[in-house]
Amino acid sequence: DAGVIQSPRHEVTEMGQEVTLRCKPISGHDYLFWYRQTMMRGLELLIYFNNNVPIDDSGMPEDRFSAKMPNASFSTLKIQPSEPRDSAVYFCASSSPVTGNTGELFFGEGSRLTVL
């Protein structure tokens, strides 16, 4: 398997512009996570899905952020309008628990976002 695939790898945009980050999880994984990583705050969970349904979006910073998972093989994280404080590396990860509450996370390479 190719692993978790994210795009774009790098994005530089201006404040106020819309940003869309994309993720293709590992085939067969039924959990998908979006994390944001910054030096100050570390790895923050933004939202996670189970079988394409959002389960916990309590980490989504504000209404400017939205995430969708229209099918089992694709998810998007959208920021509209973007602000300089959104600059970070955004990771997508997928998982498939084998039994009970277990399952390692497989991370994508990340999307590095810079908002000027």
Partner 1 sequence: GQQVMQIPQYQHVQEGEDFTTYCNSSTTLSNIQWYKQRPGGHPVFLIQLVKSGEVKKQKRLTFQFGEAKKNSSLHITATQTTDVGTYFCAGRGSGGSNYKLTFGKGTLLTVNP
- Which residues are within 8 A (CB) of 65 and not within 5 positions of it... i.e. 6 or more apart? 46, 77, 78, 79
- The least CB distance from residue 88 to partner 1, in Å, is 14
- The least CB distance from residue 98 to partner 1, in Å, is 11
Question: For residues 21-40, which are near partner 1 according to CB under 8 A?
Answer: 31, 33, 35
Binding span for partner 1 by CB under 8 A among 21-29, 63-71, 77-85, 106-114: 106-114
Where along the sequence are the contacts to partner 1 (CB under 8 A)?
31, 33, 35, 41-43, 45, 48, 50, 55-56, 58, 91, 93, 95, 97, 101-110
